[in-house]
Amino acid sequence: MSNIDFEKALNSEQLAAVTAPDGPVLVIAAAGTGKTRTLTYRVAYLVEKGVDPRRVLLLTFTNRAAREMLERAQGLVGEGVGGLWGGTFHHMANRMLRRHGDLLGYKLDYTILDQDDSRSLVRAIADERGLLGKHFPKPDVLLGVFGLAANTSKPVHDVAAAHFEDHPINIEDVVKVWKAYEARKRQLNGMDFDDLLCNGLKLFRDHQEVLAKYQEHFQYILVDEYQDTNTIQASWVDLLAEKKRNLLVVGDDFQSIYSWRGADFRNILSFPQRYPGTVVFKLETNYRSVPEILAVANACIAGNPEQFQKSLRAVRPASKKPKVVHVRAGEEQALYIVQKIKELRRKGYTMNDVAVLYRAHFHAMELQLELARERIPFVITSGVRFFEQAHIKDVCSLLRLIVNPGDELAFIRLMGLMPKVGEKTAAKIWAALGGRCDIKDATGARALREKLPAAARVEWAKVEPIGAAYEKDSLADDPGEVIFRFVKEFYDEYAVETFENYDRRKEDIDALIDFTTRFETGEAFLSEMSLLTNLDAETDMPAQGQESGIKLSTVHQAKGLEWNVVFVLWAVDGMFPSSRSLNEGAGDGEERRLFYVAATRAKDELFLMMPEVRRTRDGGVMFCEPSRFVREIPVSLLEDENVGFI
């Protein structure tokens, strides 16, 4: 007899999935419906049924998720769950390769290369081929290309050609570095993280005797977050489950939002076709959000044709409708949110109860400034604060030096972007210049040029004319033009070679240039940046005993989290959905799923912020169309609020 009252512990949907018969099972677990609880109880159910836990494989995407499920299962059935194979795909592939990697030509004591190891190896290979110091991608960028190729099973040449499109990167050199990297890893008896997955799949495909052993060993296979699997992971699981077919996968096609790192939502959509006889269960009872929020989420996602149709049902009582807040522009959006946060705190909400979500990091630029001004603590869960990002500091360094020729920090940062100039070399040059470098002046510019290494001199020649044109072209009152010219002539090429996520950083820089239009001079812009950066520092670390702060996050980073109150920024076409994603030609399916994820993070209140205009670099404004995702929602499900600021 079972010691667990499954019927009491689970709702009818969860119970059906937990007690599903043998064979292929697909559990579509919508947002907030108890996915982790269902998987945990499935493990407990199998153990209670007499299944040897050593013959159960639980695959997750994070070690934390695996630990949480195993700890919960242990709380239900005690030590009976011991011996279960649980962990990430990488962890399980490594466990098998430690036993059989010699069949692929590796010694069993192979080294797993971390990011630093891989970076050093690629840098050494590029250096040996004379590619360092030239216009060639840095190791992190190359590793990003190699990783995407591995996880999507595409040729490195094709992935590199797409990544560096419109930039003068020699793709053949990229491929040669990749081939040398693969060979060098072999010589070192090493694998990187991507190799663990690729070699795990190769082991099964090339050595049927090993595959047969694990097919027989694993009586049941459970997979969490199945919508996030890539081609390699799905194929690896398919081979393992081919014989017994006792495969239960849990996921939500509505929340598949990681295609940019190789995830393929078609894996979950095609599951019933790949596994004839699949039993499908849907978890649709939502314990998180009020019904009004769920009605909006359901209406939003209904526009995606390729999906398992389902509708979230609330258990919580009726409450407030989500608000669509119409404001003039980004500044008014920030002011509204700050005022609303103060109001929410008066109602008893804590800082930790509130989150602001956005599609791209630069969307929160004005809000970060306003929160800093108001001394409202906030925590960026998706990176560093906007004006503290490396690429933002980089593109402001030239302007800082022009405005203040005595700014040593700006000089060292700017020189550090040049080839063959490190921090020590830059400091020596600064000292040789007498602690001042006025590149607006021909004499000062020449003095700097003469002290630069030859390789740096070539690149500096692209930047130097901007300083000469500062007074001639009246750039003192147009800081955005200085940054624009710097990016066009030099930094854009530097960024594509330096940053793996070049596209996202380019969006940030473009937004920064537009943002400068509200300042009459470069000095005014830089003074505000300096002031607000210092304010950021003051509000960054709350005093002991204080709340930690409002959460600011991209939607991608917010998946799996929840808050009482959620604001979604820039719910307008071109921002959410992102114009960059739409221009890539994949349609708006993934953008709509992102919008759905954003909406379903809210428990009590949801605010969809809709500015009417965006500033442009020429000082004008661009009128914004409401997000198509909001336009599709029946007006009866939303409350409109029009905000005017004097």
Catalytic sites, residue numbers: 35-36, 224-225, 255, 601
Alpha-carbon gap, residue 403 to 479, rounded angstroms: 10
For CA atoms 134, 135, 136, 137, give the dihedral sign.
Answer: positive
Contact 37, 10 (CB under 8 A): yes
Closest Cα to residue 287, out of 645, 588, 544, 35? 35
CA atoms of 523 and 345, how far apart (whole Å): 36
- Supply angle C-alpha 259, 357, 306, rounded to 5: 35
CB 365 within 8 A of CB 359: no
Q: Could you tell me if 476 and 521 are in contact, meaning their C-beta atoms sit under 8 angstroms apart?
A: yes
Beta carbons of 7 and 230 less than 8 angstroms apart: no
Cβ-based burial of 634 (10 A; exposed 0-12, middle 13-18, buried ≥19) = exposed
**Beta-strand (E) ranges in 186-340?**
190-191, 220-223, 247-251, 279-283, 285-286, 313-314, 323-327
Give all strands (DSSP E) within 234-377, no chain letters.
247-251, 279-283, 285-286, 313-314, 323-327, 354-358
Q: How many Cβ atoms are within 10 Å of 120's Cβ, its own excluded?
A: 12
| Residues 323 and 639 sit within 8 Å (Cβ to Cβ) | yes
Tokens (6 digits) for 52? 């040897």
Q: Tell me the C-alpha distance between 436 and 439, whole Å.
A: 10
Q: How many helices (H) and strands (E) does the chain have?
A: 30, 19
Q: Which residues of 385-403 are buried (b: 16+ CB within 10 A; e: fewer)?
A: bbbebebbbbbbbbbbbbb
Residues linked to residue 611 through DSSP beta bridges, in sequence order: 327
Q: Which residues contact 569 (CB under 8 A, 6 or more apart)?
A: 333, 356, 357, 358, 359, 363, 364, 367, 575, 576, 609
In whole angstroms, give the CA distance from residue 461 to residue 420: 15
CA-angle at 208, arms to 202 and 213, nearest 5°? 105
d(C-alpha 422, C-alpha 428), whole Å: 10
d(CA 489, CA 461): 10
Q: Which two tokens stand for residue 119?
A: 């970076």
DSSP 44: H
Task: Please report how the helices 330-346 and 365-373 are oriented relative to each other, as an axis angle in degrees rounded to 10.
Answer: 50
